[in-house]
Each structure stands twice: as structure tokens, then as C-alpha cells.
Structure 1
Amino acid sequence: MSKKKVFDEAVKFYSELSAEFKGKSGQPNLEQCGNILSKLKILITQLNFLPIEESSNCQKEMTLARDVIELGALYSIATRDIPAFRKYMNQLKAYYFDYKDLPKSFFRSQLLGLNLLCLLAQNQVSDFHSEIERLSYDEMQNDHYIKHPIKIEQYLMEGNYNKLFLAKSNIPSESYSYFIEMLLLTVRTEIASCLEKAYRDISTSEAQRLLHLSSQKELQEFSENRKWDFDSKIISFPLEEAKDSIPAKEVTKMMLDYACELEMII
């Protein structure tokens, strides 16, 4: 198959993938998207997905390859496949930062913002700051896709959990929901651990407020996962088994050895 035929077929599959990803009623057919994406990834390996020459054809092929990888990254979020998302983003960063002569990408800001949020959700704060350094001041200040994870990181550093949980209802795209939920679960788990250390029991209303849960049913499910003793008004936390602060066996042996040495001296 000639390169032109490969390119034309890849364009056709890309159009199909875009249509399937939008889906009927806004719901993508993920199984069909996965099938088309697999075929596309094979096709773009037969094209110039890296700049080996300066020509309009090479630029078109690279742009198509970038667009395919972008949909692959969004597909990986929809299927909750974080390792695949990270691989796609590593490829895309070359197109975004090294090959700036390509036509502007519609998904660039959204995916870079998602990458930042993914790093926060996985507690990779140093990598988060490394990625921030690659962005322009204008992007950090004015791009709503980029500003969102930057604000989230600020709330985390300040310990401002109220604003952090409120940010869930102010996401720039539905694709951000997955990483936000992951991050909030981590924060909620940390709050729960602090409650267990600070109290023997707590009222359900106060626990629900501190954990930022929307209903008592959610609180009950969360309590069951933490093995808390839950009733309609009070939550009792499991007591940690007291650990011996003094290693009795070791101390006894040392004292006996010492006694024997004293006996020999006398």
C-alpha cells in the first residue's frame, strides 16, 4: 500500500474514531473506539510521525499522528487506564514542546491540564512542578484548563480542604472528574486517619462535615470500609492494640546476664 493510501485510510479511521468518541447522546462507544484506535496506531507507524524531512506531507502526517495520540490519551482516561495515559502524554509532549510549527492542537491545553492533575492525584508533586516549568506565564494565568490543577495544588499546600472539595463542581471538562475523584479520595482517607488518631468517637454529623460527604449513606459506606462502628448518631473508632513500650523478654535476659556477671565478680 502506498503512503498516500495509508494516509487516506488513517484519515478515514480518525474521522470514525472522532465520531465514535463523541458518541450518540454524548456517550462514546468505548469498545468500538478501542478497536479503531488499535488499527490507527498501526497505520501511523507507516507514516512520518517524527520530522524526518521538511515538507507539507510530513507536517500533515505528523499532525494526524498527534491527533490520533490525543484521542488515545482521552480514551485511556475514559477507560481508567492511567499507565496508558502517561505513555500517551510522554509522546504528546514531544509534539507540544519540540515541534511547535505544527498546526495548533484543539486538545493541547486540556491534556496538559489533565496531566498535571494526574500527577497531583498520584502525589508526584516534584514532577508536577517540573511540568509547570515548561508552560508559559500566560498559560498558567489565563488558560482555564491549566489554572485548575495549579489552584488544586495551591489548596493542597495550604491544607484548604474546603476549597479543594468545592473545586469538584468547577472542573473545566468532564474528563477531569476521574483524577479529581482520585485526589479527593486520597485527601478524605488522610482526614479519616487523623480523626482516628484524634478521637475515640465522633458524631455522624461532624464526621460527614469533616469528610465532605454528601449524605449519611455515603458516610455509612465509608465507615464500613474503614471498619468503624457506625450508628445513626455516633461513630466509634477501633482502638489500636497497645504495644509494649518496653521489650520485656530482652530486658529480663539482660538483667539475668548482669546478675550472673555480678555473681562471678563476688
Structure 2
Amino acid sequence: MSQQSFDTRAKELASAFAAKDYERSAQLLPALKTTLSQLNILVPLPSSDPSLLATARDILEIGALTSIFLSDDVQFSRYISQLSPFYALKDKIQPRSVNEKKLIALRLLFLLSTNDIAQFHTELETLEDEADSDVYIKYPVVLERWLMEGSYDKVWKATTQKSEVPAEEFAIFADILVNTIRNEIANSSEKAYTSLPLSNAKHLLFFTSDDDLLDFIHERGWEVRVNRIYFPKEETLENGIAVERIIENTLGYARELETIV
């Protein structure tokens, strides 16, 4: 690809992404990445042309964001890995990225959504004070803290209400994270109770549809008799009282929210 053709394609990619034509963006990216590889810029060096570094970084950032909108977790992880050395050279690359912190936070949120807590903390350690000062990075950090506390109601609110989400890309991970929360609550419920009324379980697991609740019950292998769920018999947790309190708090919040709505 000639330099003129490369510049034209790069502008076309930016236009397609701005127009939210993510399928077109995905079609344009492979050829552009091939050219970046041919220019020996896909793996940046301090001696590389700063303007070319900025172009390559912007292309890869669009690739990462496009993969989120297309729900391609594998590609998203690959783009983030390719962007890491560019972010390490951020003092050399001008203009500075406007998407760096957002993408780093999205990576943290993805790790949280897939319950990869060890890697979450490993990557968080490199961010120093940004966990409290940056609006994007603070978001997954606060969510993780609430998850560890068992404050699932707060996590659910922060991931499902638009006013709580720092950017639209973050909302795309909401379904994954809510599913993680449901499974955490389900695991605790199995250990804290022998059974629960169906109506309580619907609130507790943040379902708005009876059919979705029944599908979830079937997936978990729970039994339903006379509008009540019966859990498989397991040994009760030593901290069963604490688990019950978490569940009761979550149920109370869900009821309040339903009243407001």
C-alpha cells in the first residue's frame, strides 16, 4: 500500500468509526495493520517517527474500540496488547492520546467482568494514583471494591443506569458483569438457604423477565415446586449469616428500585 493510499484508508477508517459503522471499520483495519507492520511501526521504537507513531496508535485504538462494539473480546485483548508499548512511549508521541485512559479502564472492566481478579490487580498496580483521580479508571476500581464487599446492588445500579456509566463503551460490558453478579449471588444463595420464593429470586438476581429467570434456574439445575426454588443440598458456609445479610440488602434495594420505577 502506497503512502497516499495508506493515508486515505486511515482517514476512511476514522470516518467510518465516527459514523459508528463498525463493520466497515473492522473491514479496513487488517490492511492498515499490515502496512504498519511493513513500515516497522506496529512495534514502536523510541527512534520511530513520532507522527507515524501517533497514526499507528490511533489506528490501533480504533481497532480496540471497534472490537468492543462488535463484542469481539479476543480482538479487544489483542489490540490492548499492541497498544501497551505505544502508551509506554506516550511522552514521545504527539498529540497525546485522548483514548488511553478510557481503553485502560475498559481493559480493567473486561478483566473484572470475566472474574480475572488476579490480572485486574496486577494491571492496577501500574496505574499509581490514577485509580482515584481518573474518571474512567476509577469506575472499574470502585466496581471491584463493591464486588469484594458483596454490594451487588451498587454494582448493578452502576452498570445498568446510564447516568452512572462514564462512556457508552463501558455499558457494553454490563451484561457480562451482571451475569457475573448473578452467579455470585446464586452461589451464595445455594449455601445460605435451602429454598427461596420465586418472587424473591427474581428481585435478588435482577431479572425483569420470568422467562429469563426460569432459564437461569434451569441452567443452575435448581428445582421449582409450588412457586419456590429448592437448591441442591450443600454444606452451609461458616459465614452464612453474612451471606444472608448481603442477600437481604440486595433484595431490599431491588424492591425499592422497583417501587421507584
Same fold (TM over 0.5): yes
Q: For residues 183-224 of structure 1, give each alpha carbon's deviation from its aligned partner in whole angstroms, at most 9, with x where no partner exists.
A: 221220121233234434321221112112234343233223
Q: Which has the larger radius of gyration?
A: 1
Counterpart in the other structure of 1:83: 74
- 2:128, 2:195 → 1: CA distance? 49
Partner residue of 1:111 out of 103, 122, 125: 103
Counterpart in the other structure of 1:261: none
Q: For residues 71-126 of structure 1, give each alpha carbon's deviation from its aligned partner in whole angstroms, at most 9, with x where no partner exists.
A: 11112222222222112111211111234221211211110100111111222222
2:185 alignment partner AA: I
Partner residue of 1:20 out of 16, 21, 24: 16
Counterpart in the other structure of 1:134: 126
- 2:124, 2:184 → 1: CA distance? 26
Structure 1 contact 96–108 (Cα < 8 Å) conserved: yes
- 2:232, 2:37 → 1: CA distance? 59
1:220 alignment partner AA: L
Shift of 1:235: 2.8
Structure 1 contact 11–64 (Cα < 8 Å) conserved: no
Unmatched 5+ stretches in structure 2: 235-261
Counterpart in the other structure of 2:56: 65
**Secondary structure in 2 matching 1:100:** coil
Structure 2 contact 111–120 (Cα < 8 Å) conserved: yes
Q: For residues 239-264 of structure 1, give each alpha carbon's deviation from its aligned partner in whole angstroms, at most 9, with x where no partner exists.
A: 459xxxxxxxxxxxxxxxxxxxxxxx
Structure 2 contact 22–70 (Cα < 8 Å) conserved: no
Shift of 1:65: 0.7
Unmatched 5+ stretches in structure 1: 242-266
Counterpart in the other structure of 1:148: 139
What RMSD over aligned residues (CA atoms) do the two structures have, in Å? 2.4
Q: TM-score, normalised by structure 2?
A: 0.78
Q: TM-score, normalised by structure 1?
A: 0.77
**Secondary structure in 1 matching 2:98:** coil
Aligned-residue sequence identity (percent) comes to: 33
**Secondary structure in 2 matching 1:53:** coil
Structure 1 contact 22–28 (Cα < 8 Å) conserved: yes
Change (3 A) 1:199 1:126: closer
